[in-house]
Amino acid sequence: MMKQTMLIGGKRVAGSRYTRLTAPYSGEPLAEIPLATDEDIEAAIASAHRTASVMKSMPAHARAGILEKVARSLEERCEEAARLLAREAAKPLKAARMEIARTIETYRISGEEAKRIGGETIPMDAVPGGEGKIAYTMREPLGAVGAITPFNFPFNLVAHKLGPAIARGIRLC
């Protein structure tokens, strides 16, 4: 049985305590997974804050490239991911394959949006004195964010958080 690690600050970190992950229907042991401690969580948050400036300054084409690479990698291993999802979440394999396909598209769409996210211009002539004037907004990442996803679509609901965050240059913890 595989003993998993956590990814904190770009490094694999062993847990101080583990729990067994089992298949919901068969009870078959799938892996030993670490239970994050308060210190592990604090380290992940601190790492995300330290590297937020790197993500913020990364050009749109580079963020789009990251997301395309994620989509390609998942596409290359889609059957493996679907089978893992089917075992861990007790999903029918057909439904798991559909979720993986949707996840790939979510990352691709996020990559495309990375190139378009900017801001908008707003004509100010809706009020007297605004004639000939425009306002503009700029989208600017403020720092790290945390995201909690439900269990029922683990790949795709993570992609719905992670894809837009990377597209915008926000670091997740």
- Overall average pLDDT of the 80-85 stretch: 96
CA 81, CA 5: separation in Å to the nearest integer? 18
Q: Which CATH class is domain 2-168?
A: alpha beta
- Overall average pLDDT of the 14-34 stretch: 94
Which ranges of the chain would DSSP assign to H, the alpha helix? 38-57, 60-76, 78-89, 93-114, 154-168
**All structural domains of the chain with their residue ranges:** 2-168
pLDDT of residue 156: 95
pLDDT of residue 41: 93
> In sequence order, what are the beta bridge partners of 137?
120
User: For the chain, what is the mean pLDDT?
Assistant: 92
133: buried, middle or exposed (CB in 10 Å: 19+, 13-18, 0-12)? exposed
Contacting residues for 41 by C-beta, under 8 A, at least 6 apart:
none
pTM summary value: 0.85
